[in-house]
Amino acid sequence: MKVQTAKVRGAIQVAGLMVGLCSTSFPAQAETASVADRLVVMKSTHTLILYAKGQELRRYQIALGRASGAKDHEGDHKTPEGRYVIDGRNAKSRFHLSLHVSYPSEIDKRRAEKEGLRPGGDIMIHGVPDGYAWLGQHQHDIDWTDGCVALTNPEIEEVWRLVPNGTPIEIMP
């Protein structure tokens, strides 16, 4: 009976040790679930960077508007440049999922008005159109949007989870 009790105690100690070792991976998983508090788009390198508390959280290759330069009016196919905010989301977007960028700012509106043009709107961070998910990483090989920022569908799903409404976004040349 004593031999069996010792074996049982030994098995419990080993099991406890294994649980302790396994639980050390939980903090690392919790860190990866951080929420972004700032986004930066670097058009020159086709990069979207998510930051949390000043530290880079994620980095993605992106596709942009199919015309170069800063957006100045509706229909120019350019991605805007400036400081904006993620101010909405569309779970039923024809581009898988989309996060709305608060373009046009008051500055953008005044600039377009001076030129007698409409500034446009509906600038989004989104996935690929329905039926084109098979493109995967190749979606960013060319700029194809009407001024938006495009990711693969798995990437926009991750960004959707990590970026709350109200998150500032800076779009740089």
Structure tokens at 157: 């799903």
CA 70/CA 14 separation, integer angstroms = 62
Residue, of 59 and 134, whose pLDDT is higher: 59
Number of neighbouring beta carbons within 10 Å of residue 121: 14
Q: Summarize pLDDT for 59-72 with one digit per residue, the tens.
A: 999 999 999 999 98
Structure tokens at 127: 């996935």
CA 157/CA 28 separation, integer angstroms = 21
**43 pLDDT above the threshold of 70:** yes
Share of the chain above pLDDT 90, in %: 75
